[in-house]
């Protein structure tokens, strides 16, 4: 896509799932990758998959040390695109959810998204060439989901934060958008009983699970020059689940 080649792209949660597929998409488009995940590099396939144009930071995005390591990496080479992909779940019904369950999900899925966006925006503004900030929301932010009060709160928060950051950063040429996946065919989804998967597909007008590559394509489009006039948007990639 236009305007991705040569850009430096930070992707969190990049060692597996949607983050890993997104890293591959941007690498194939010619981007320079700054990837972050909890695992040490040698416990991933990233070095082999991306033999050049790769910098890796093993960090917990919810920790002060992790954020400091990412900030140092940004300062070392600059940043053009941030993709806040890292996220966790700790599902329980509201009456059974502990303070620890709540705090852990808020820390990774919301607070870290804000802190990383703040770091990236400061660097982008200093560089003076604009930039793009993209964050993972979820369709459950639009309708709620049983047992996910903490997760849904974070994803709804990401959508609201996206709109606010877009308003604040637009004059610096920084575009801010979110992507809200529906039910995506990942190992986590495949662990769900077959009958439940069939029900999820029935609820989706396109009658199937989405593919991680389809989420990566949405990120690539929103990061590209083809989306140069798109900001403050939450793009649902959900097969029509939310109308």
Q: Catalytic site residues?
A: 151
As a whole number of angstroms, the distance between CA 70 and CA 63 comes to: 11
Query: How does 11-27 read in b/e, with b if 16+ C-beta sit within 10 Å?
Result: bbbbbbbbbbbbbbbbb
As a whole number of angstroms, the distance between CA 10 and CA 85 comes to: 10
**How many residues make up the chain in this entry?**
243
Give the up-direction half-sphere exposure of residue 64: CA atoms within 13 A in the CB hemisphere. 0
Long-range contacts of 26-30 (CB under 8 A, 24+ apart): 26/81, 26/216, 26/219, 26/220, 26/223, 27/53, 29/1, 29/4, 29/5, 29/220, 30/4, 30/5, 30/6
As a whole number of angstroms, the distance between CA 7 and CA 1 comes to: 12
């Amino acid at each position: 896509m236009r305007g991705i080649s040569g850009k430096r792209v930070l992707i969190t949660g990049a060692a597996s799932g949607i983050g890993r597929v997104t890293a591959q998409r941007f690498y194939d488009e010619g981007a320079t990758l700054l990837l972050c995940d909890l695992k040490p590099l040698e416990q991933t396939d990233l070095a082999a998959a991306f033999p050049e144009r790769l910098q890796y930071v093993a960090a917990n995005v919810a920790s002060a040390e992790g954020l400091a390591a990412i900030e140092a990496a940004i300062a070392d080479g600059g940043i053009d695109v941030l993709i806040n992909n890292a996220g966790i779940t700790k599902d329980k019904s509201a009456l059974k959810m502990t303070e620890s369950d709540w705090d852990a999900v808020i820390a990774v899925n919301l607070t870290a998204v804000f802190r990383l966006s703040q770091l990236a925006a400061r660097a982008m503004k200093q560089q003076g060439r604009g930039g793009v900030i993209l964050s993972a929301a979820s369709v459950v932010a639009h309708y709620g989901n049983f047992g996910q009060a903490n997760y849904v709160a974070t994803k709804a928060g990401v959508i609201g934060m996206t709109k606010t950051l877009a308003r604040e950063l637009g004059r610096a040429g920084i575009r801010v958008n979110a992507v809200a996946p529906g039910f995506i065919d990942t190992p986590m989804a495949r662990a769900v009983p077959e009958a439940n998967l069939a029900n999820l597909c029935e609820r989706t007008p396109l009658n199937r699970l989405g593919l991680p590559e389809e989420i990566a394509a949405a990120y690539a489009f929103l990061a590209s020059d083809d989306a140069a006039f798109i900001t403050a948007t939450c793009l649902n990639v959900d097969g029509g689940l939310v109308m």
